[in-house]
Amino acid sequence: MATKTIRYTATLPLDHVNELRELAKEKKIPSVNYAINVALDRYMREHKAAEYEAQMKKASQDKAFLSRTMNSADDFSGIDSEVEGKW
């Protein structure tokens, strides 16, 4: 399935672009654009993971949240034991 794209102009350090061009020329990466997209994807995943971790830290201070979480874990423990491996 094709991803929607948009052309966007950004200012990048010349040294970085030259290094990416060299990697593309050596066929170590498909293209400069590919490397930039991979870097953006990685950054977004790390940002979302950090955001989730901050939310979980905050939730860990909420006694009602902890109670619901533990009750849910207990409720599903019997079913979970019937499944081999990871989901």
pLDDT digits (tens, 9 = 90+) for 12-62: 999 999 999 999 999 999 999 999 999 999 999 999 999 999 988 888 888
Q: What is the pLDDT of residue 69?
A: 81
What pTM value is reported for the model?
0.65
The pLDDT of residue 6 is above 90: yes
Contacts 24+ apart (CB under 8 A), 13-20: none
Q: What is the pLDDT of residue 16?
A: 97
Report domain extents, the chain. 14-79
Q: What is the pLDDT of residue 86?
A: 60
* Pairwise CA distance, residues 33 & 55, whole Å: 33
* Pairwise CA distance, residues 69 & 10, whole Å: 44
Average pLDDT over residues 2-12: 92
The pLDDT of residue 87 is above 60: no
